[in-house]
Structure 1
Amino acid sequence: MHLPTCIGHSVIFSIVDIRAKDLRHSSSTSPSITQETWHSFASPKVSTLIHIPSISLSPLTKAHVTGVETFQERSTYMLAVLKDPSLRLVLALSDRVDETLLYHQLHWLIAIGKLPTDSASRFQLLRVPTTGGQPLAEAILASPAAFSQLRSVVSRGRALLDFWAAGTAENHLANLLECRHTGQPKTVAGSDSKATAKAIFKAAKVQTPDDFGCISTIQDLFRLYHDRYPDLKARGFRNLMIKLNREEGGTGIARLASDGIYRSETALRQALHFDTKTVSLCEFESAMRGSGALVECEVSGRNLRSPSGTLLISANGHVELLATHDQIVDGCAYTGCRFPADIRYRHNVAAQSLLVARECARRGWRGPVSVDFVVDVSINTEEQPELYAIEINARKTATFHPFLWTKFLTDSRLDPRRGELIRHGMKSVYEAREHVAVASQFARGPKEVIRMLQHSGLLFDATTNTGMIPHHLAGVRATGKIGVTAVARTHEHSAALLAACQNALRTTGSGGPRSTSRSFKKTAAR
């Protein structure tokens, strides 16, 4: 049985385009995030949540991303479920991931009163031996000891498996354990390809860039280009995007100028350039033969933004919009986000995301879904800027953990009319970054970063509901970079906090008097 990951009281934004009967409003008496999330499951009531951040990436992405296992550390927000004294949490992590941040956050949350004092006794860490970026589900299936431990937990009854993304291996693991799970059922696992997304956009009647279908070789691209060249010129698009059906983070995207005259396949090959500079043509062609690639017209503009909608689809197909974000991208690679999305298109992002997710639900999709868009805000118009839907991801994307951390720590509720997190009339916003460079002293390990944030007063302060939330510290030794989320009352304040944190992390011997940083935070908050 597939159960939903349900957060919120089916709260969605109040949008002009959506009929009143589609809205369910939140109330001031709505339960906490843990109650919303885990007590909304069907009978029998869940008593143990088993979270497995099994990160399955395409071979091309894994070859060009360092420390894939460390992404598992993003899942420490799951500690929030321990707020409910009747729940136990089992968190699986690769044995290659540093657990320092996890236990720091567990004890920190207890110390600041966000979790009950007995929370540590209801938490269990399951270490799983992994090799070379192996997804956790596959590693558990290959480890008799890890599988036995999980079976022991499940055998106590009323357990639920929760995944980063529910693919083939995750469904197989849940089936062997005879345990319910969240996310995609087996019948649609792995269906969030670029080509499928394009079909869903068209079925939902959501605007999406023109495309020319899928190809599997450079020869296909050469023939397509020459067959459709007059059409390309007539449409006025500058570039074609060749997007691998299976790719993440922009690693599988190539671009081709549409105003060129390519008289041979060799000339066309030489004209291709890749968003990820380290990807070779040979690698790209190999991946294209394996998964195919969608050929799409690139959206151009003087001031492009990359908003997204974050949603959840329940077991019965009900769609709930959690949040909108402005993603911060380098090419097509995600580097951070701001919540909420710009007011100029926030409600349109919400409305279009709901249309897409409802079509996904109609096709059997379940669990977390994100919808990515492109919009040009340089065009002066009294109407909302035009959105183009470009991608769907059926997983807990990188916008997921900053939202859940902020919602939990600030005890905020989503205002369905404004699309903002509100508590006692005060809103909370945030700005997250994934790749913040640190000085050599902080690259020694997570403890040094945590000490700096504590000493400087930049760490999240539960009395003001502002400050920094660190993440992705497990990879700091390998990459010299970490992730952070700045929570504040305004975007100006979050930007100031982020700048102060980046400056402190880049400066050797940083970490001034606590009172100085506290004064800065209070001043910025005003």
Structure 2
Amino acid sequence: MITNIPFGEKHARLSIFEPSEGTLVVVPSLSLPQDELRRITGVRCYEERLLFLLLTLREPGVRVVYLSSMPVDPDIVDYYFGFLPDPDGAAKRLQLISLDDPCSQPLTRTLLDRPDAIGEIREAIGGDDAWMVPFVLSELEEELASLLNVPLYGPATSLAYYGSKSGAREIGQEAGVPMARGFRDIRLLTELEDAIEELPGEQVIVKLNDGYSGLGNALVRKNDRAWTSFSAEGETWESFSAKIMDRGAVVEEFIEHRPLYYPSALARITPGGHADVVATHDQVLGGANNDVYQGCTFPAAPEYRAEVQGSATRIANLLADRGVVGLFGMDFFALKADAGYAALLCEINLRIGGTTHPFGAALLTTGATYDPGLGLLVADGQPKYYTATDNCAAYCLKGRSPGEVVRMVESLGLGFDAASRTGNVLHLLGAIPEYGKLGFTSIGNSREEADELHRLTRRALCGADPAPR
């Protein structure tokens, strides 16, 4: 039941991956710039990326209230329940609330105009000790939390600047973390031109402050401004310049060094202010400028894993001191230098990012714990590795149901094996019927086993090997 004990005191060490009791009100609203979101195929279905939180229903004291624009296919819910020891008990502690509106983007904005839905959420919470878990926290989510009178497991909007590209450079500098040379808080076109000319090299990269998944980036050639490669399809200098003046941007040197690697770190700051890095990954990128997130591998390569974790820990501790709460990611560049490998901070994403659901799925299905000394997930002494994608798409999958694809994967022996704690955990299943698209996390007992399982699964679903990474 609700008590008068402050949230940060009562749940000082709360992890949304492993709550022991209480109600998670999951609001997977994509409260981000909608012009860029529309470029992602099946973007509404990305609300389903947080369905891995249904696995927290393993604990009998946990309840989940899950919001969505459209109803979640019952076969998808049954799929997640299949990982639990008591599916029937879990079903009694899950409340799915849908707005039945495919155009309700972002979800929270529409929800705030639906007093009937808000009343349904209040009724589902009842007198339980509850907290809201947003995908990203904006003023919309803060307003919803206020209406529901529940605390938020996420960073306050007053701290949102630290999750912008400019804010990341400020935090990185204060934390003493290496970064590429660059300039922040660019809004005027004259400032943009001066920054471009000031930096070394033939090319620079311009990033919108609130861009995500690489879609707010542009690669600019200094001696030929007419040649600019935008990560987002359909972008022009006219539209991009307007966004710079409206949202702000950073200009950074383009790192020519090859090979170049793209590790990231996933960190958690609890309501009590305890900060830790819970995982490192190598990102799999694609797109016109090879800067759009496609998937990841866990853990980051051993050559630079400790460097990434050390820098991420300094940043997480600094953000904890500033009052940040929740899960967030940090992206890096890694390259080989004379004295070993160096990791340069690229950006900070104060939200649940693309590496969160693979990590959550692997953690909750294997029962592993993260060993920060090794940088590995370990279950009963056995390290766990995984390879994940959000972008497995094939024309042959269109029109199929989520349940049909789940059964196909399991019939081929590519599902999850509880005994070995290896196999695939599927997600984004709701995008299959219309878009022929899904994601999956391939878990193995070695890097090679995870990669091979991933390759076999992609071939089974798409009929061909993926392009080399």
TM-score (norm 1): 0.81
User: 1:495: how far off?
Assistant: 1.3
User: 1:449: how far off?
Assistant: 1.4
Aligned mate of 1:404, from 335, 354, 360: 360
Cα deviation 1:199-232 (Å, max 9, x = unaligned): 1100111111111333335454334445x3xxx3
* Alignment-mate amino acid for residue 245 of structure 1: N
Say yes or no: does 1:353 pair with 2:312: yes
Which residue number corresponds to residue 3 of structure 2? none
Matches within 5 A, 1:332-371: 332-371=291-330
Which residue number corresponds to residue 304 of structure 1? 260
Matches within 5 A, 1:282-431: 282-330=238-286, 331-377=290-336, 379=337, 381=338, 383-431=339-387
* Aligned mates of 1:457, 1:5 — CA distance in 2: 44
* Aligned mates of 1:61, 1:469 — CA distance in 2: 28
Contact 1:4 1:182 (C-alpha < 8 Å) held by counterparts: no
Aligned mate of 1:187, from 155, 158, 162: 158
User: 1:304: how far off?
Assistant: 0.7
Say yes or no: does 1:221 pair with 2:192: yes
Cα distance 1:2–1:216, how it changes in 2: closer, same or farther (>3 A)? farther
Contact 1:251 1:276 (C-alpha < 8 Å) held by counterparts: yes
Which residue number corresponds to residue 174 of structure 1? 145
User: 1:349: how far off?
Assistant: 0.7
Cα distance 1:100–1:137, how it changes in 2: closer, same or farther (>3 A)? same
Give unmatched runs, 5+ long, in structure 1.
11-32, 40-45, 263-267, 509-526
* Aligned mates of 2:252, 2:7 — CA distance in 1: 34
Which residue number corresponds to residue 430 of structure 2? 474
Which residue number corresponds to residue 249 of structure 1? 213
* Alignment-mate amino acid for residue 254 of structure 1: A
Contact 1:126 1:146 (C-alpha < 8 Å) held by counterparts: yes
* Aligned mates of 1:478, 1:4 — CA distance in 2: 45
Contact 2:331 2:347 (C-alpha < 8 Å) held by counterparts: yes
User: 1:322: how far off?
Assistant: 0.5
* Aligned mates of 1:477, 1:434 — CA distance in 2: 16
* Alignment-mate amino acid for residue 172 of structure 2: F
Q: Secondary structure at the match of 2:341?
A: coil
Contact 1:129 1:143 (C-alpha < 8 Å) held by counterparts: no
Which residue number corresponds to residue 170 of structure 2? 199
User: 1:257: how far off?
Assistant: 2.3
Cα distance 1:78–1:301, how it changes in 2: closer, same or farther (>3 A)? same
Which residue number corresponds to residue 34 of structure 2? 59
Matches within 5 A, 1:430-469: 430-441=386-397, 443-469=399-425
Cα deviation 1:250-307 (Å, max 9, x = unaligned): 111111124x2x6xxxxx2x12221234323332122222101111112221111110
Matches within 5 A, 1:204-283: 204-226=175-197, 228=198, 232=199, 235=200, 237-258=201-222, 260=223, 268=225, 270-283=226-239
* Aligned mates of 2:270, 2:63 — CA distance in 1: 22
User: 1:443: how far off?
Assistant: 4.4
Cα distance 1:247–1:214, how it changes in 2: closer, same or farther (>3 A)? same
Contact 1:85 1:116 (C-alpha < 8 Å) held by counterparts: no
Measured on the aligned residues, the alpha-carbon RMSD in Å equals 2.4
* Aligned mates of 1:374, 1:152 — CA distance in 2: 47
Which residue number corresponds to residue 24 of structure 2? 49
* Alignment-mate amino acid for residue 220 of structure 2: L
User: 1:154: how far off?
Assistant: 3.4
Matches within 5 A, 1:131-146: 132=103, 134-146=105-117
Q: Secondary structure at the match of 2:391?
A: strand
Cα deviation 1:96-129 (Å, max 9, x = unaligned): x64245323243124xx3x464111111111124
Contact 1:304 1:375 (C-alpha < 8 Å) held by counterparts: yes
Cα distance 1:116–1:482, how it changes in 2: closer, same or farther (>3 A)? closer
User: 1:90: how far off?
Assistant: 1.1
Q: Secondary structure at the match of 2:328?
A: strand
Larger radius of gyration: 1
Which residue number corresponds to residue 103 of structure 1? 77
* Aligned mates of 1:281, 1:339 — CA distance in 2: 37
Aligned mate of 1:38, from 7, 12, 19: 19
* Alignment-mate amino acid for residue 317 of structure 1: G
* Aligned mates of 1:449, 1:5 — CA distance in 2: 42
Aligned residue pair count = 456
Q: Secondary structure at the match of 2:38?
A: helix
User: 1:132: how far off?
Assistant: 3.5
Cα distance 1:339–1:5, how it changes in 2: closer, same or farther (>3 A)? farther
User: 1:238: how far off?
Assistant: 3.7
* Aligned mates of 1:387, 1:271 — CA distance in 2: 29
* Aligned mates of 1:347, 1:293 — CA distance in 2: 30
Aligned mate of 1:150, from 118, 121, 137: 121
